[in-house]
Every structure is written in structure tokens, then in C-alpha cells.
Amino acid sequence: MVRFPWRRPPQPDPNPSESPSGLGTFGGVFTPSILTILGVIMYLRFGWVVANVGWGGSLAIVTLSTSITFLTGLSISAIATDRVVRVGGAYYMISRSLGIETGGAVGIPLYFAQALSVALYTLGFAESLSNSFPALSNTQTLVALITTIAVAALAVKSANLAIRAQYFIMAAIVLSLLSFAFGHPITAESDIGAWNVSGRVGEPFWVVFAVFFPAVTGIMSGVNMSGDLRDPSKSIPIGTLSAIGVGYLIYMVLPVFLATRADFTALTENPLVMRDIALWGDAILLGVWGATLSSALGSILGAPRVLQALARDGVLPRSLRWLGQGHGPDDEPRYGTFVTLGVAVAAVCVGDLNLIAPVLTMFFLSTYMVLNVAAAVEGFLQSPSFRPTFRVPWFLSLVGALGCLSVMVLINAVAAVVAAILVAGIYVWLERRELQSAWGDVRRGLWVELARLAILNLGDTPDTKNWRPNILVLSGAPMRRWPLIELAAAFTHNRGLITVASVLPSGSRDLAQQASLESKIREYVAKRGVQALVRIVTAPDPFVGAERLVEAYGLGPLVPNTVLLGDSEREDLRRDYCKSIATLHRSRRSVIVFRENPELGFRNRRRIDVWWGGLQSNGGLMLLLAYLLRTSDRWRGATIYLKLVVPNETAAQAARANLENLAQQLRMGALSQVLVSDGRPFPEILRESSRAADLVCLGMAQPREGQDFSEYYSRLQGMASGLPTTLFVLAASDFAFEEVLQGKE
């Protein structure tokens, strides 16, 4: 249900900059919108439309075209009645809903489309003038230049003065329509025939539709004046929807007059057939000239205001920020008008805009589409902050967006693709600049909704087919232990989740200070190219804090499945450290202990040694981690050595065959290496065989009840002494990592 706010209760002024001297609904929105809708297509192409599809087909085209514009008008009205719409019109609405990057990606092309439209309209005015007065035929470009400068001077002088000038233009258009309505047939009734209902076999319906559709796309002329309105939230919906309604009524009546007063030949071959039908033919010329001049005025008023808003929001480069300055009590964008005049004059001098005209239409339509998307997303999310007094069901806005997209393809598919590429290129450019806006937008709400749906549909049962490490990194201060975070990033490839966690002493930070520190760490990690969450807790000691994190951190089934922590050489902490590892393992988490060789680091990142103890338990997880490393950017193409120690050569022969067969089945590119101990202790073989490795992976035994795990861990550390950087891996006991490797269903 659509609720029209024609009567609104008194509300406090939300924008102190609004002034009683601003433009009202009729002059600021309705007038520029209706004058752009009733444009040159009505005067010069409507007869051709009726000739090809008849008045019945014409009514269908008018209804379908206006429906798309009407849905867009509803979306604009919803956004305009939710917030104060300041300078920038459509750009302002989009940027405050979908973000500054999306607003800029649409706003920059929209500015150039409006600036070049000034040249299109003044060239059209000059052409119609020279056709009516042959003496001016050789001075067409000069006439267009003079006209362009004149409308720019009018805009620089005052927006109010330009609007008053449009009243005279509206009077000329009304006079032309009345003259046409009281006109006379130019063809005998017997010659009109039955073609006037359905037309003759000529251009296809959708080709005719594409020619007519730009006639109903003038609603941005009023929206772009948002910064000059007394009450934008009231004037934009009333003025825009009124202009759409009046335009629709006029366009529904005209086909009947045309089809019953002229034959097929006259409508097809005479662009000014309305002049021949009209009671006073020259009134149609006044209407044509008024239509072109009003459209030029609407563009020269709107384009600088979009440019002013882009500059003020920092979308434009810093060297162009001066374009955001306003002049006078009405904050008029004089600098922007001069720049727009320069663009228009350059386009007039080129003269032929036929090649870029379709792309300009695409920019206008893409603006309409994105406005519909913004209203649809806002309405769908139903955020408490979105409270328009003009409520529109979100699916109507979505239908409007799909309608705009369909029309873009129907009018000119190539131009639509070109426009899409340009908009996407600007979006990427703005995103890389990492613009900071002082307002929130709907993107966060959209991500929250998607996250909610994803978590609710995630399920509690682990899935071996889609397993990825969701890593909780107990890093302490990340600046001092960056290799831990780097390793986690290499494991996840920015596909799994990383949480960088620190445990601070109890009472060292309050909640506000913790949040501030989390923000700083998140910024530091992001600047180094790692996508990660950050969590800080306080606890009596770091081991208690780690256990609390694992116990409480996460959302529903989305909890860390792997804990990555650094090794500890401190004997006084070893018992608590090992107790913490045992607790983490009992909580069904995999544990990875990172033992860094500070002199070697990760060295060349070319070789990973995995000491094999079987596919089950630790072996499967170690191979998965090695594979994830070698497919990451910094470890790309590293060689994985699968190492196994056997007591004698007899056992080695069978082991080699089994290990090679396993390596081939797993499709990881791992090389098997079977070593014969010949009585040598394993630590000696380990140090000798892996001394040239860049990373060594060793499995840890599972902590047992009644076992002194700290004593075992001390022996493990002694065995790894002198090795390159090493990982001690303890796999979660309840997860079948071998099924992830073998791809079992």
C-alpha cells in the first residue's frame, strides 16, 4: 500500500539551512520536470510513433513507459521523505543509501550526461530555428553557442530567475497544446482508415518503444534542484508525481488526436505534422523551441548542483574541491556553472553528439535504476532509521529497477554495456581511494541481514566437503608477533575467517578502551592486507583468557575450529601452557603451535616438510595445512615433502609404494620420501633431513587423562631444537580430516 503524504503534521525543521526564500513545489520541482517530459519527442516523433503502432499501441507504450517512471518516482518519494535531501539530488540520495562509492560512480556520469545534454538541447533549438528560417541555416553552430551562453548566464544570475523564465516557456507549451487540441484534420476521413488503431507493418513495437521512452525521463530535473527547495521532503514527492501524472494524461490524449486527424503518410514523413493540424501552426514552433530551451535550462541548473555535491563530499580529486563553493544566500554553484558551460560549449563546437547521445540516455536510466535499488534495499531491510512518511513496498521499487534495466537493453544494448563499464570503472577508482564518509549507509544493514540468514542456515553438523580453517590467533600484540597472523592469512586465503585475539590483564582496560584498541588493531591488520576480526578480553592470566575465548567466542555454529598460538620456552609457565592446550583440545578445536626460528623466519617459502604418521588424526590436518600454504600467494608453488621413517629397507619398499600411491590419490603435488633409521634416533634423522626446509610440520600426541603432558611437550621442544620454523599440530579428534583430503561424500 502506498501512502501519499499530502497532509503532514507539523515537524521540526531538520535542516537549518532551509530558508523561506527557497523554491516551492510548483516552481522548483513540477515546472522543470513537466517541461522536460513534454519535450521535443512529443513534438517531432510522436506522430511517427502513432503511425507505426497505431493509437492503441501508442497508449500501451505510454502506459508501460510511464509505469517505469512512476515506480522510480515512488522510490524517489520514499527516500526524500525519510531524510532531508540536500544539494545533489539523485547523487545525494544514492550516496546516503548505498554509500559514497556507489553515489560517486553514478553521480560523475550523471553530471557529464546533464552537462552534455545542454549542448544536445541547444543544438536541437538551433536546428529547428534554422529549419524555420532558412537565412540562419549557415549559422547553426553560432546560434547554438549563443543559446548555450544565454541559458548559462540565466542560471548564473539566479536559479529563481531561471525558474521564472521557465514559466514563460510553460505558457508557450500550453498554448501549443491548446492550439493543437482545437486544430483540424489534414486528411479526409476516408483516407485515415483502420490503420489508426493498430498501425501499419513498420518498425517493431520495442523499437518504437525505445524511441519514445526518453520522453518520460524528465523527473531528475526537479530532483536536482533539491538544494534550492524550501522543503525538499514535501516538494520532491508532490512535484515529481504530479509531473508524471500530468504528462501521462497529455500523452494518453495526443495519440487519439493524431490518429484521427492525419493519415499514415503524413504522420510518417512530416516531423512537424502537429503544426499542420494546429489551429495556429506557429504555436507548435513556440512549443518546440520552448521544449528545447526548458530542457537546456533544466540541465544547466541541475548539472552544477551535482558537481557541487560531488566536490563537497570529497568524491572529486582534492584539486577540484573549490567546485563545492556556493555563492549568495541561496548557495548557488557559480563555479560549477562555469565549468558546465565549458563542457557544453566544447560539445557544441564538436557539433555531432549522435554517437554519445545513447550513452547519455543510459546514464540517466542507470541513475533511475540505482535509485530504485536504494529504495528497495532500504524497504526490504526495514531498519529502524528508515522511516519515510511516504511508504512504498520494497518489491515495487525492485520492479522499477528491473524495468529500467530492461529498457536500457531494449534501447541500445551496446550503449548500456559501455555505460555499465564506465560506471564500474569509476566505482573501482573510488573504492581504491578509500573515501571516508561522515554518514552511514545501507550496506552495513545488508551485510548484517545476509550474515543473519547465512548463520541461521549454516547448521551445526560439520561438513567435510566445505571445511576451511576458521582460525583464532592468540597473537598478543600483533605488531610484535606478525608471523602468526601472516601464517593464518596464508592458511585461509581470505576465504576462511581469522580472529586476531589478545588477552590483557584484568582491570587494565575498561570496555570503551578495549573497543578503541580493537579498532586500532583492526586498522593495523587491514593496512597490511589481512582481512581479520579482532577480539580483546581481560583475564587473570593469558591461559584463562584463551580458554574463555574458546568457550564463549563465536556466533551460533560459526565458531573458530582452529586455535593458532605461539610456542613458549618459559619453564615456569609450561605446566599452565600445556594444561591450556589440553583444554583447547577437549573443546574439540584443532591446535597449531607456531615455533619460530627467529634467525630463519620462513626463509624462502619454497619447501614444506610434513613428518607423516598416518592419514588419520594429525596427518590429515598437516597435509591440508601444507596444501593451503602452497596455494597461497607467498608460498605459491612450494614443494611438499611427505616424510616417513621406517626401521629397515624391507619395510621401506612397501612404505614407498604406499606413500607414493597416497600422494597421487591426494592430488597435492606432494613428494614422498621414506627414510631408513638403521638404529638412529628420530630426533637426529629429523634435524638432518629437515635442516634445509622452510617450514616443518610435526604432529602432537593427544593429551591423556593422568598423563604429564608438560613433560611430553618438553621432549617435543627438545626434539625440534635447532630446526627451521616448525608447527606442532594437534587435530581435533572428532573431525575426519582424511575425508576432506579424499573428497568422500
User: Is it the case that residue 16 has pLDDT exceeding 60?
Assistant: no
Cβ proximity of 315 and 434 under 8 Å: no
The pLDDT confidence band at residue 431, using thresholds 50, 70 and 90, is: confident
User: Is it the case that residue 574 has pLDDT exceeding 60?
Assistant: yes
Name the fold adopted by 29-436: Amino acid/polyamine transporter I (1.20.1740)
d(CA 704, CA 726): 23
User: Is it the case that residue 508 has pLDDT exceeding 60?
Assistant: yes
Average pLDDT over residues 129-138: 77
pLDDT tens readout for residues 611-634: 987 766 788 889 889 988 988 888
What average pLDDT is seen over the chain? Answer: 84
d(CA 538, CA 213): 63
User: Is it the case that residue 745 has pLDDT exceeding 70?
Assistant: no
The pLDDT confidence band at residue 742, using thresholds 50, 70 and 90, is: low
CA 491 to chain centre: 28
The CA-atom distances, in angstroms, between 425 and each of 95, 317, 355 are: 17, 16, 20
The pLDDT confidence band at residue 345, using thresholds 50, 70 and 90, is: very high
The pLDDT confidence band at residue 179, using thresholds 50, 70 and 90, is: very high
Q: Considering only residues 6 and 742, tell me which one the structure prediction assigns the higher pLDDT.
A: 742
The SS3 assignment for 590 reads strand
The SS3 assignment for 415 reads helix
Average pLDDT over residues 534-552: 86
User: Is it the case that residue 9 has pLDDT exceeding 70?
Assistant: no
d(CA 268, CA 255): 14
The pLDDT confidence band at residue 696, using thresholds 50, 70 and 90, is: very high
Average pLDDT over residues 15-38: 74
Helices 46-80 and 357-381 cross at an angle (nearest 10°) of 40
Cα-based angle 242, 41, 151 (whole degrees, multiple of 5): 80
Q: What is the reported pLDDT for 4?
A: 37
Cβ proximity of 663 and 671 under 8 Å: yes
Cα-based angle 720, 582, 640 (whole degrees, multiple of 5): 40
Architecture of domain 598-725: 3-Layer(aba) Sandwich (3.40)
Domain locations along the chain = 29-436, 598-725
Strand pairing of 498-505 and 533-539? Answer: parallel
**Order of strands, edge to edge, in the sheet holding 671-676?**
533-539, 498-505, 471-474, 562-566, 590-595, 726-730, 695-699, 607-611, 639-646, 671-676
User: Is it the case that residue 360 has pLDDT exceeding 50?
Assistant: yes
d(CA 438, CA 383): 19
User: In CATH terms, are 29-436 and 598-725 the same topology?
Assistant: no
Average pLDDT over residues 267-277: 86
pLDDT over 90 percentage in the chain: 21
Predicted TM-score (pTM) of the model is 0.72
Q: What is the reported pLDDT for 452?
A: 80
The pLDDT confidence band at residue 463, using thresholds 50, 70 and 90, is: low
User: Is it the case that residue 37 has pLDDT exceeding 70?
Assistant: yes
Average pLDDT over residues 459-468: 72
Which residue is listed with cell 579498532?
Answer: 519
pLDDT over 70 percentage in the chain: 92
User: Is it the case that residue 671 has pLDDT exceeding 60?
Assistant: yes
User: Is it the case that residue 14 has pLDDT exceeding 50?
Assistant: no
**Closest of 717, 729, 697, 719 to residue 574, by C-alpha:** 717
Average pLDDT over residues 92-101: 83
Cβ proximity of 397 and 375 under 8 Å: yes
The pLDDT confidence band at residue 93, using thresholds 50, 70 and 90, is: confident
Q: What is the reported pLDDT for 27?
A: 85
Cβ proximity of 44 and 185 under 8 Å: no
